[in-house]
């Protein structure tokens, strides 16, 4: 059944959430979510577990229904045109469950059939990219390999819109890179991607814009560049000998510092080169440079703590 596309809808918008609220009796849900994602954009949904990312994605797919508000995908209404929408969407669930007794090949063939038949060569591309053994029954696969089955199932039709809920959870770094490169390729081909994560760096790698969601509310939408500008690195260094702490504190970009024992903790925004150059002059016992966790980021910039 072909459904008429609303002519008033901007064709450059892939998905539009308009004051979407979903209230659960037991609490949780999402409130007054409004958001437009452009065609060809990679949008990252960033928030702690239970923030409402999965709820939003399941609302888009009509697996659950909004209490109020409206969702349009390519101009189609999520409630009335769900089948037409799902024809154009590839979905990876956050809590992936597969048919245990089937092999990946059987599952993929079944879904390909439900999608009206797919070119198996396309499927092969993803099977090879993710190095997936398609002939073993799913119940004998590791968590990472199951995730690969889900990823191939979501991506195999080269859908116009990829909805990936925590796509890299359970994957080793090598496969995570494959996911990122496939997401980038989709974007290059003009396809749209919405991916969720609770890890900042993961979203930052691929997304153009990031929506920060917490306790069911969209707090902010920022470009990745902006977000990374905020995202100061946390430098923790332990010296063997005496140190002039003041030289570190006066470096450009150092936002805050703390000294305890022989350790120096610094929060550094922007370029890390000056501090690395300075560190090279000292005898170090230990050094760690890391990104702030999502919680630390929320804490610092939105004045909220992750309850």
Partner 1 sequence: MAFFSLVMLAMFPTIHANASFAKLIEAYPEALRKLFDISNYTTGPGYLRTEVFSFMAPLLITIYAILQGSDLLAGEEERRTIDLLLANPVSRRRVVMEKWLALATGVGALSVVLELLLGLIGPLFRLHLGWRQLSAEVLGTALFGLFGGTLALAWGAWTGARGAARGVAAAVTVAMYLLSALAQLVSALGSFEWASLWYHALGGDPLTTGFHYWHLGVVAMVIGVLLLAATLLFDRRDLTT
Where on the chain is the footprint of partner 1 (CB under 8 A)? Answer: 54-55, 58, 61, 63-65, 82-84, 86-87, 89-91, 93, 95-99, 111, 114-116, 150, 153-154
Q: How far is the CB of 72 from partner 1 (least distance, A)?
A: 17
Residue (23 or 199) nearer to partner 1, CB: 23
Contact assessment for residue 191 and residue 161, using Cβ atoms and an 8 Å cutoff: yes
Contact assessment for residue 60 and residue 195, using Cβ atoms and an 8 Å cutoff: no
What is the Cα–Cα distance from 204 to 102, expressed in whole angstroms? 35
Residue (38 or 118) nearer to partner 1, CB: 118
* Closest to 148 (Cα-Cα) out of 107, 115, 189: 107
Residue (4 or 97) nearer to partner 1, CB: 97
Q: How far is the CB of 111 from partner 1 (least distance, A)?
A: 6
Residue (63 or 277) nearer to partner 1, CB: 63
What is the Cα–Cα distance from 147 to 170, expressed in whole angstroms? 7
* Closest to 300 (Cα-Cα) out of 204, 232, 211: 232
Contact assessment for residue 229 and residue 269, using Cβ atoms and an 8 Å cutoff: yes
Residue (215 or 222) nearer to partner 1, CB: 215
Residues in the chain: 307
Q: How far is the CB of 16 from partner 1 (least distance, A)?
A: 20
Phi-psi region of 246 (alpha: psi -120 to 50; beta: other; left: phi over 0): alpha
Contact assessment for residue 126 and residue 155, using Cβ atoms and an 8 Å cutoff: yes
Q: How far is the CB of 150 from partner 1 (least distance, A)?
A: 7
Residue (116 or 190) nearer to partner 1, CB: 116
Q: How far is the CB of 296 from partner 1 (least distance, A)?
A: 28
Contact assessment for residue 149 and residue 136, using Cβ atoms and an 8 Å cutoff: no
Residue (148 or 209) nearer to partner 1, CB: 148
Q: How far is the CB of 162 from partner 1 (least distance, A)?
A: 11
What are the φ/ψ torsions at residue 246 (nearest 5 degrees)? -60, -35
| Radius of gyration of the chain from its Cα atoms, rounded to whole angstroms | 22
Residue (93 or 204) nearer to partner 1, CB: 93
Give the Cβ contact number of residue 237 at 10 Å: 20
Residue (99 or 302) nearer to partner 1, CB: 99
Q: How far is the CB of 113 from partner 1 (least distance, A)?
A: 9
Contact assessment for residue 134 and residue 108, using Cβ atoms and an 8 Å cutoff: yes
What are the φ/ψ torsions at residue 206 (nearest 5 degrees)? -120, -25
Contact assessment for residue 70 and residue 257, using Cβ atoms and an 8 Å cutoff: no
Q: How far is the CB of 163 from partner 1 (least distance, A)?
A: 8
Q: How far is the CB of 194 from partner 1 (least distance, A)?
A: 14
Beta-bridge partner residues of 71: 17
Tell me which DSSP letter residue 10 carries.
-
């Amino acid at each position: 059944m072909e459904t008429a596309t609303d002519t008033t809808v901007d064709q450059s918008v892939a998905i539009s959430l308009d004051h979407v609220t979903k209230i659960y009796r037991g609490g949780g849900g999402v409130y007054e979510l409004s958001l437009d994602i452009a065609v060809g954009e990679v949008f990252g949904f960033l928030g702690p577990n239970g923030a409402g990312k999965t709820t939003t994605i399941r609302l888009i797919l009509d697996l659950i229904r909004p209490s109020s508000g409206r969702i349009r995908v390519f101009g189609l209404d999520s409630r009335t045109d769900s089948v037409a929408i799902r024809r154009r969407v590839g979905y990876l669930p956050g809590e992936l469950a597969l048919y245990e007794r089937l092999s990946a090949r059987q599952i993929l063939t079944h879904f390909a059939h439900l999608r009206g038949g797919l070119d198996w060569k396309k499927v092969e591309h993803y099977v090879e990219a993710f190095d997936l053994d398609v002939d073993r029954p799913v119940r004998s696969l590791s968590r990472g390999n199951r995730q690969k089955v889900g990823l191939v199932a979501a991506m195999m039709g080269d859908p116009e819109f990829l909805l990936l809920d925590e796509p890299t959870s359970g994957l080793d770094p090598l496969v995570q890179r494959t996911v990122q490169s496939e997401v980038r390729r989709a974007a290059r081909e003009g396809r749209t991607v919405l991916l969720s994560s609770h890890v900042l760096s993961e979203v930052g790698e691929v997304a153009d814009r990031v929506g920060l969601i917490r306790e069911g509310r969209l707090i902010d939408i920022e470009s990745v560049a902006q977000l990374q500008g905020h995202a100061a690195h946390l430098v923790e260094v332990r010296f063997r000998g005496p140190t002039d702490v003041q030289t570190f504190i006066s470096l450009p970009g150092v936002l805050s510092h703390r000294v305890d024992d022989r350790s120096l903790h610094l929060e550094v925004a922007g370029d890390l080169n000056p501090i690395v150059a300075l560190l090279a002059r000292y005898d170090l016992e230990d050094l760690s440079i890391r990104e702030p966790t999502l919680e630390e980021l929320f804490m610092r910039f939105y004045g909220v703590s992750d309850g």
